[in-house]
Amino acid sequence: NAGVTQTPKFRVLKTGQSMTLLCAQDMNHEYMYWYRQDPGMGLRLIHYSVGEGTTAKGEVPDGYNVSRLKKQNFLLGLESAAPSQTSVYFCASSWRNNEQFFGPGTRLTVL
């Protein structure tokens, strides 16, 4: 099993550009999450999903959109990137409310 994978691993954007981060899990988990981590800080929840076709806002949802069209995938979109969105993005999944399994992260720089 690959566990949780994230694509891409690194990305540099210019202000105003858009992009989509892909998270995939092969553990048949119901729940999926997107977090961001800024330097020297803990992770903050952006959006999460409790099942296919459902999404909900977390602590810091502004500037991001998500979609969960397939159970195994959770997409995070930035419609108009801003320098404040420079961060490391982590995806996670879990079986209902059990422990969360995290991906390796995506390092995003917005110039």
Neighbours of 24 (CB within 10 A): 19
Q: What is d(CA 40, CA 47) in angstroms, rounded to the nearest whole number?
A: 21
- Contacts (CB under 8 A) with another protein, residues 30-49: 31, 33, 35, 40-45, 48
Is 111 strand, coil or helix? Answer: coil
Residue number with CB closer to another protein (35 or 74) = 35
- Contacts (CB under 8 A) with another protein, residues 70-89: 88
Q: What is d(CA 6, CA 8) in angstroms, rounded to the nearest whole number?
A: 6
Summarize as ranges the residues that interact with another protein (CB under 8 A). 4, 31, 33, 35, 40-45, 48, 50, 56, 58-59, 88, 90, 92, 94, 96-97, 99-105
